[in-house]
Amino acid sequence: MEIHPIVLDPSHVVTKLLIKDMDERLLHPGPDRVFAETRRQYWVLRGRQAVKHHQRTCTGCRKWKGKPVIPIMADLPSARLRLLKPPFFSTGVDCFGPYTVKVGRRSDKRWGVIFKCLTTRCVHLDLLNSIDTDAFLLALRRFIARRGIPFEILSDQGTNFRGAARELEEAFAGMMPQLQEELAKKQIKFRFNPPASPHFGGAWEREIQSVKKALQVVIGTQSLQGEVLLTLLVEVEGILNAKPLGYVSSDLADPDPVTPSMLLMGRRDASLQQVSYATDTLSKRRWRHCQMMVDHFWVQFIRSYLPSLQVRQKWRKHTDGLLQGTVVMIVDPQLPRAHWPVGKVVKLKASADGCIRSAEVQVGDRTYLRPVARLVQLPALSDDDADPGTSATP
């Protein structure tokens, strides 16, 4: 370290060039490392702040250490607030798997499909023999026959199924045009979340985790028959529908928490015995009992459970939104960070509250729709630097 280092103004052009050169020679380390090396020869006034300011605008640092800017959490969508409506009025659907089953002496694959009521949290599980349009439509017909026709169905676009094989992603993505035609005939609205945005469908993604954990405990490494796997799925469905909604109080004076089974079966879970009535007043009392259970469910749902959904655990602050023309790097968990595609924002998509939560990004000659939570903003780049990801599919 110099005994009499040169004193530099942090806002001077020469100082900025010296910090930039040191940052590049050290391969973009942390600010403390760059500050320590610079201090050996120069005394930069407010040097640590000057280094941090440079690294916030350095393309190399942002590429390796930049994080997406998460927008503020939105209010509950209308699909989560279909109060006093029948179960599965607004439904989220997703596929998971595959699971290996035994068919005679050979092995085959099966997939699970989940239908989740976005308001009451009722769950319907079924098994798919193949991951194609026909198998999914058959499962949808079974679902409608048992639960009724939903008003709307929400789904991912097939490129972000957690734990899914590549064949599941490609096959489900290819179903979309045919699914829209078939559902239009039944007057069902079908809405898709942006690709690579599992947090848009967190209501059913979280339920899939519960299903997978339950199956993992029971199955382990076994290969079951298809009927056994279907039976396990239905039993897991019953367990999930018996899960209490909201806080479970330890005070005996407080009412019991409601469960989705109260709407589906008129009792809190399948293990409870059905109420018996005298023959002369059978129909009248059963009707009153069903109405009482439904009314009790909605009263407790609105009073106890609904307020808990308004709490925001994260994403509480407003952030600087993207601008059209901003250079961004698309986060792809399946690729190393060095291979993440870099492109330019060509179109912004605002949600119902006016906040930008998805954008179209042009990478080479292709355009991708991605959520803002998967985009890392970069300082302005030249055209040569902005096209390294043209060969990669984000």
In degrees rounded to 5, what are phi and psi of residue 97?
130, -160
Tokens of 175: 């179903």
Q: Are 355 and 77 in contact (CB under 8 A)?
A: no
Tokens of 3: 């005994």
What is the pairing mode between strands 90-103 and 152-155?
parallel
Using a 10 angstrom Cβ sphere, with 0-12 exposed, 13-18 middle and 19 or more buried, the burial of residue 155 is buried
pLDDT value, residue 186: 65
Confidence of residue 163 (pLDDT cuts 50, 70, 90): very low
Tokens of 362: 């042009």
Indicate if the pLDDT at residue 388 is higher than 80. Answer: no
Confidence of residue 185 (pLDDT cuts 50, 70, 90): low
pLDDT value, residue 73: 77
User: What count of Cα atoms within 13 Å lies in the side-chain half-sphere of residue 369?
Assistant: 14
Task: Report how far residue 89's alpha carbon sits from residue 96's, in angstroms, rounded to the nearest whole number.
Answer: 22
Rounded to an integer, the average pLDDT of 130-137 is 80
In degrees rounded to 5, what are phi and psi of residue 278?
-70, 155
Interval 204-250: pLDDT, tens: 888 888 888 888 888 877 778 888 888 889 888 888 888 888 776 67
Indicate if the pLDDT at residue 126 is higher than 90. Answer: yes
Q: Are 88 and 237 in contact (CB under 8 A)?
A: no
Task: Report how far residue 168's alpha carbon sits from residue 163's, in angstroms, rounded to the nearest whole number.
Answer: 10
Confidence of residue 389 (pLDDT cuts 50, 70, 90): very low
Interval 348-379: pLDDT, tens: 888 777 788 888 899 988 888 888 888 888 88
In the chain, what is the straight-line distance between the N-terminal and C-terminal CA atoms, in Å?
A: 47
Interval 245-296: pLDDT, tens: 877 667 666 667 778 887 887 666 665 554 544 545 545 555 566 667 677 6
Three-class DSSP category at 169: helix
pLDDT value, residue 246: 73
pTM of full prediction above 0.75: no
Three-class DSSP category at 266: coil
Q: How far is CA 186 from the centre of its chain?
A: 27
Interval 31-86: pLDDT, tens: 899 898 888 888 889 889 999 988 888 888 888 888 887 777 777 777 778 888 88
Residues paired with 143 in a beta bridge: none
